[in-house]
Amino acid sequence: MNEFQHVRSGEPIAIPATAYNAMLDAAQAHRNRKINLSPKGAGFDSLYVHVENATGKRLERFSIVGLDGPSDSPDDPQNVDAFCNRITLRGIIPKEEHARRFAVLQQDAEPDMIVRACIAGVTVCKIQVSQQPESFDDLSCVATSGKTEYLKIGEEGAQVLWVESGTGTRWAIIRFGGTGGSPGVLFPVNLELASGTAGSSTAMCSFKYYVQHAISKEWWTDDGWGDEDDRIEVDPVEKPSRWRRWSLGRYIKADYGYARTVVEEDDTTEESDKIKLELGWINEVLDVKTCT
């Protein structure tokens, strides 16, 4: 029997429990959107993306996955629309390079299933605690290589707001990506066109952008986040940014994207390391017209 079968005009209505419960769930979800409630277990103003469970095993809610690039590669012309219209990242078992590039799942996920995951803001998760901290000031956590069940205490990771007392695997509330100051953590950005041309059938697009942190509303400057007067142009196809364009074609400018801060060696400064901005994805698209 199909619980969601439509009823013809004049037929008696007998609503199965499955259909009735689905209607209640839909009504509650609509109400939550109207009053701007976040899903249970996550904080207000948290940022979510779709993550594919590419670990090969079932993951429970609040599991940790390393972010291994987009699920739909723009290198395949058949995937360009999917890549541009919905951000879906591959979640894998964390490795060492994912210490600060991870997401916290907000739903249970079977293998290859796509679910919502938190990459910025406040969320619940579990942390491995070897010694109860005296305070939470400047306490951070990072992903653990080979572990999806919990995070561990580490430097320059997600901020620990609270952790359950005791040692071992403990419940915690963390905040990451809030200011974009922690290297390796994704955060949303607004983009304003700074210079460049859209490109054509004979010339490559050369758009450069001013980058604004979507949460703090500060602009990217030579000294990090600061005032609009000090903002600088960012080329999304120049290192350390990772955006890629077709060699030819006209583009529609971007106004939104995701970025992170990275630490790179810079021999031109006295310090051995310098924080730089990496644009990973922006909503810049080819200006495609329908062919007859």
Mean pLDDT score across all residues of the chain: 82
What is the model's pLDDT at position 290?
A: 65
Residue 241: per-residue pLDDT: 92
* pLDDT confidence of residue 29: 65
Residues in the chain: 292
What lies within 8 Å, CB to CB, of 96 at 6+ separation is: 145
Give me the pLDDT at residue 269, please.
Answer: 45
Q: State the pLDDT at residue 102.
A: 94
The torsion angles phi and psi of 185, rounded to 5 degrees, stand at -100, 130
Residue 102, strand partner residues: 66
Task: Please state the pTM of the whole predicted model.
Answer: 0.51
Tell me the mean pLDDT in the region 138-164.
88
How far CA 172 is from CA of 64, 161, 246, in Å, comes to 13, 8, 44
Q: Which two tokens stand for residue 5?
A: 């079968």
Strand-strand pairing, 151-153 and 158-163? unpaired
Return the half-sphere exposure (C-beta side, CA atoms, 13 A cut-off) of residue 117. Answer: 30
Higher confidence at residue 273 or residue 261? 261
Per-residue pLDDT at 62: 96
